[in-house]
Amino acid sequence: MSDVATGTPATIRVAFLGADETTLELLMAVLESPRFELAGFCELDPAELSGAGGLAPIMAKVRSFSSWEMLLETGQLDAVIVARGTDADLRTEQLRKLVQVEQPALVSHPVVDSMLVYYELDMIRRDTKSVLVPELADRLHPAVQALAEIVRQGEASPIGKAEHLVMERCLPTSTKQLVDRQFARDVDVIRAIAGDMTRLGAMAGAPGVPNYAALGVQMHGPQGIDARWSVLAIQAACGAKITLTGARGRVTVELDSVDAPWSMETQTAGAPQRREFAGWTSADAVLAQFAAAIDRQPITPDWVDACRAVELTETIERSLKKSRTIELYYEDYTEDATFKGTMASVGCGLLLLTLLLLVLVGVLEQMKVPFLGVWRYAVVGVLGVFLLLQLLLLTSKKRSSDSGAGRPPAEG
């Protein structure tokens, strides 16, 4: 997306849908950004801006959209930044519509707590080639990138091959809702460093009575790194600590949630080496990612990363209920895959039903029940409808393939 005459990137007119602690930081960054222009807001209570650095007087001069449906008019806007809302069903419907009309959206994460909603939006996104970006800023931090590079180096890294990753999180309160939402963000950092996680086991106090203030989550993935995420009992301050341990040493990153820069300390056989990361702003990094996605450049993290994070978060409750480790098998959730799975289940059901019907008809024939010949036509009709649906799927896929031949695949 650029100005054709000058070749410079075009200004992105963006509106805000709702507000939370994440999008308020993005709002201040938009006001200072040379690339973005604040075009308006919707469902934003002025009281929410009282402590946000004097934003209330500025927002009083900005257009207020009376209805969220006005954000669907792509001619007036270039993008929407979506906050978490109090009504999850309404926010889900709003996101569906935004993706369906191909309105680029930057979404606070987790915007809703449902894995199914995330994967549904992903299917719509793939079908429409719409831009849908999760706000996952911590993965973009240079310290996290440095830890990921250490893992990639393997034996050649200063600490040798990475074996263990521990992330400890301090929270002001330890309700299930707050812990789940924080884990949904932190697990993306863990995945960025140690790769995808395919096994998850959770413990939270006594079985059957979860105590989320003592939650500990053990994970393991294909890269062979054992990862642990836990809530610290000390809740006087917010923040977190990541420790990556290898055969020859360890690296510790302190994540301060206040304005202090993150720090990284490497401990090996020699003297500890300390490094601070100053001058990095999460909101600026996220807006840069959003602009790149609108310009149809590949970005990481993407919406699939957000889906994985929410899926891992939902797995915690399953693990606690069953008191065991849960295996995760990742597959792409597409409409074709969903249809095939449904058809496979229906096909198995029809076969079993036909066998049961044969047995039942045999018994009824012995009882001289009239009009039993009708069952043959009923079975043929049901099987015919089933085969017709399969044929329609194959035909639609072939038509889609033929229509895409001879032109490059769409970017997205």
Pairwise CA distance, residues 185 & 189, whole Å: 7
Q: Is residue 390 in some structural domain?
A: yes
- Domain check: are 306 and 340 in the same one? no
CATH code (residue 199): 3.30.360.10
216 near 202, Cβ under 8 Å?
yes
Show the tokens assigned to 248: 């020859």
Give the three-state DSSP class for 67.
coil
Q: Is residue 404 in some structural domain?
A: no
- Domain check: are 153 and 123 in the same one? no
What pLDDT score does 4 carry? 47
**Is 275 buried (19+), middle (13-18) or exposed (0-12) by CB count in 10 A?**
middle
- Domain check: are 158 and 117 in the same one? no
Q: Is residue 412 in some structural domain?
A: no
What pLDDT score does 205 carry? 80
273: left (phi over 0), alpha (psi -120 to 50) or beta: beta
Q: Is residue 259 in some structural domain?
A: yes
Mean pLDDT, 10 residues at a time, the chain of 412 residues: 63 94 90 94 73 67 90 89 95 97 96 96 96 96 96 95 95 90 97 96 84 94 95 74 95 81 91 89 95 96 96 96 88 53 65 71 67 65 73 59 39 34
- Choosing from 135, 158, 184, the residue where a domain stops is 135
Domain range for 33 is 12-135
| Strands 216-220 and 226-231, sheet pairing | antiparallel
- Domain check: are 27 and 153 in the same one? no
- Domain check: are 146 and 159 in the same one? yes
Query: What single letter denotes the amino acid at residue 57?
Result: P
- Domain check: are 208 and 145 in the same one? yes
Q: Which run of H or E residues covers position 273?
A: strand 273-277
What pLDDT score does 345 carry? 66
248 near 266, Cβ under 8 Å?
no
Query: What single letter denotes the amino acid at residue 241?
Result: K
Q: Is residue 7 in some structural domain?
A: no
- Choosing from 81, 104, 135, the residue where a domain stops is 135
What pLDDT score does 385 carry? 75
- Give Dmax over CA atoms of the chain in angstroms: 94
Sheet holding 326-327, edge to edge: 273-277, 262-267, 249-256, 239-246, 162-170, 226-231, 216-220, 199-203, 326-327
- Domain check: are 116 and 45 in the same one? yes
- Domain check: are 315 and 344 in the same one? no
Q: Which residue in this structure is represented by tokens 């604040």?
A: 38
- Domain check: are 104 and 55 in the same one? yes
Q: Which residue in this structure is represented by tokens 């649906």?
A: 389
Query: What single letter denotes the amino acid at residue 46?
Result: P
Q: Is residue 288 in some structural domain?
A: no
- Domain check: are 276 and 169 in the same one? yes
Q: Which residues contact 277 (CB under 8 A, 6 or more apart)?
A: 141, 142, 143, 261, 262, 263, 264
**Cβ atoms within 10 Å, residue 383:** 14
Pairwise CA distance, residues 122 & 110, whole Å: 14
Helices (H), 60-196: 88-100, 115-128, 142-153, 176-194
Q: Which of 135, 143, 77 is nearest to 285 (CA)?
A: 135
Show the tokens assigned to 280: 């990095």
What pLDDT score does 410 carry? 36
- Domain check: are 209 and 67 in the same one? no
Q: Is residue 51 in some structural domain?
A: yes
What pLDDT score does 159 carry? 95
What pLDDT score does 17 carry? 95
Query: What single letter denotes the amino acid at residue 394?
Result: L
CATH code (residue 32): 3.40.50.720
Q: Is residue 408 in some structural domain?
A: no
255 near 240, Cβ under 8 Å?
yes
State how many domains the chain has. 3
What single string gives the DSSP state of each residue in 290-349? HHHHHTT---SS-HHHHHHHHHHHHHHHHHHHHTS-EE-------HHHHHHHHHHHHHHH
- Residue 188: what are its φ and ψ, rounded to 5°? -70, -35
pTM score, whole prediction: 0.79
- Choosing from 119, 135, 151, the residue where a domain stops is 135
- Domain check: are 195 and 322 in the same one? yes
Q: Which of 164, 168, 138 is nearest to 242 (CA)?
A: 168
Q: Which residues contact 92 (CB under 8 A, 6 or more apart)?
A: 112, 114, 117
What pLDDT score does 346 carry? 66
